[in-house]
């Protein structure tokens, strides 16, 4: 995975998505994340319409079910020609291996490239208190994320979704031959909102992130393309001359 910045298209309608993307002069250069809200309303049509604009697609549905069901789901998703998909690592190694087989088999049938399989570790909205008191996990957040990432790697995933706070331990204990996609990205002057474990683009890059995901700071900004450029500059360490 090249160093990629992804935009989370957390909009309720396809019209909102089109209005947003129309503000970008080169949508074919974008990697965008489609989540549950859009996909549950429009299904594969949402993917196809955005692909028609040239965007690369991160389809973030976070599958978690028995292995056979996840295999069947991934088999179908692979036919859409998306670039990245997600599963919950807490579903276990057998489920993740089934997810990978589904992607390989579905891609082969549709003559598509196999999407990259990313395992969700702990959501960036989960705090240490929630991990301890609600999930009844005795590990620290870093220990839990590293454990789940190692399981994901051993089970055929290509990378994990993680906060930047765990990146140092992940690179050291899981390896730099694995992809780390970091949501919860905020510049220093943006509010963290419901995210508990946030980082700036520079911090994520410095600690070994392969890609970052930015949502509301871009999609809800009065000038989304300008905001995108700011985040892209910070992520790629560019100095823009206006």
Residues making up the binding site: 10, 33, 60-69, 124, 186, 195, 215-216
Those residues with Cβ within 8 angstroms of residue 7's Cβ, 6 or more apart along the chain or in another chain: 30, 31, 32, 33, 213, 214, 215, 218, 219, 228
Residues 6+ away with beta carbon under 8 Å from 179: 1, 116, 118, 158, 159, 160, 210, 211
Catalytic residue among 53, 62, 79, 112: 62
For β-strands 84-88 and 211-214, DSSP reports them as: unpaired
Dist CA 11 CA 34 (whole Å): 9
Residue 62: active-site member: yes
DSSP structural state of residue 221? S
Q: Which of 118, 112, 52 has its CA nearest to residue 88?
A: 118
Active-site residue, selected from the candidate residues 65, 105, 112, 196: 65
In the residue annotation, 65 being an active-site residue is answered as yes
60, 83, 169, 232: which is the annotated catalytic residue?
Answer: 60
User: Which residues sit in the known binding site for substrate?
Assistant: 10, 33, 60-69, 124, 186, 195, 215-216
Phi, psi dihedral angles at 182 (to 5 degrees): -115, 110
Q: Is 177 a catalytic residue?
A: no
Q: Which residues form the catalytic set?
A: 60, 62, 65
């Amino acid at each position: 995975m090249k160093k990629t910045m992804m935009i989370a298209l957390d909009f309720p309608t396809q019209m909102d998505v089109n209005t947003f993307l129309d503000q970008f002069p080169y949508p074919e250069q974008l990697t965008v994340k489609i989540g549950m809200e859009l996909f549950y309303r429009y299904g594969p049509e949402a993917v196809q319409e955005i692909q028609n604009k040239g965007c690369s697609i991160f389809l973030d549905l976070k599958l978690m079910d028995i292995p056979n069901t996840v295999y069947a789901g991934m088999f179908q998703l692979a036919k859409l020609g998306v670039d990245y998909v997600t599963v919950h690592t807490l579903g276990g190694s057998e489920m993740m291996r089934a997810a990978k087989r589904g992607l390989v088999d579905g891609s082969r049938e549709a003559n598509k490239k196999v999407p990259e399989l990313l395992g969700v570790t702990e959501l960036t909205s989960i705090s240490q208190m929630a991990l301890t008191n609600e999930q009844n996990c005795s590990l620290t957040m870093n220990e839990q994320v590293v454990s789940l990432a190692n399981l994901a790697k051993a089970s055929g995933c290509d990378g994990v979704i993680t906060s930047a706070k765990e990146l140092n331990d992940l690179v050291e204990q899981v390896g730099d031959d694995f992809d780390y996609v970091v949501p919860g990205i905020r510049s220093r002057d943006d509010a963290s909102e419901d995210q508990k474990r946030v980082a700036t683009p520079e911090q994520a890059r410095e600690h070994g992130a392969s890609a970052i995901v930015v949502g509301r700071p871009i999609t809800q900004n009065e000038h989304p393309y300008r905001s995108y450029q700011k985040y892209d500059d910070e992520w790629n360490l560019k100095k823009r001359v206006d």
